[in-house]
Amino acid sequence: MVSSFKAGVLTISDKGSRGERVDESGKTAAEMLKAAGFDPVKIKIVPDNIRQIADTLIDWADKQKLSLIVTSGGTGLSPTDLTPQAMRSVIDYEVPGIAEAMRAESLKKTPHAMLSRAVAGVRGRCLIINLPGSPRGVRENLTVVLPALKHGLEKLAGDPSECAV
């Protein structure tokens, strides 16, 4: 149906937003998406602030009409980890299988994966997925979901074909 989906990569990092740390996780996500045939047209870093995260997600999904947004960071247990709260405030519904698949695969590598609060969900016709805040975590988690993304995005865009075919 669609040959290249427009995507956004949103890094959530207080230090990154202040220029105190180079954002390697967002760069990793953008490179992986591009290699998989997506068009990463929006890349941004915001601080760990629910309103700024939510406003960016709303803008990119509603006004910029992106098909996919991946976030990096803010999914742990730290008091400043606010990405899941921001996500839930803007999505229409969750897609729990995505977050479950990422955690299941990550648990094979580290018991800390069970501490992830990452969420995946849909706003309008945009799929939004929370990824960890490290380049390694981005690679491991995005690798898990990439094989299903194009099919999911085609369905979200209105592809009427049968899934069983």
Q: Residues with Cβ < 8 Å from 144, sequence gap 6 or more?
A: 101, 102, 105
Indicate the pTM of the whole model. Answer: 0.95
Taking only the tens place, the pLDDT of each residue in 141-154 is: 999 999 999 999 99
Residue 56, both tokens: 């960016």
Taking only the tens place, the pLDDT of each residue in 41-92 is: 999 999 999 999 999 999 999 999 999 999 999 999 999 999 999 999 999 9
Residues facing 128 on adjacent strands: 69, 121
- The pLDDT score that the predictor gives to residue 135 is 96
SS3 of residue 50 by DSSP: helix
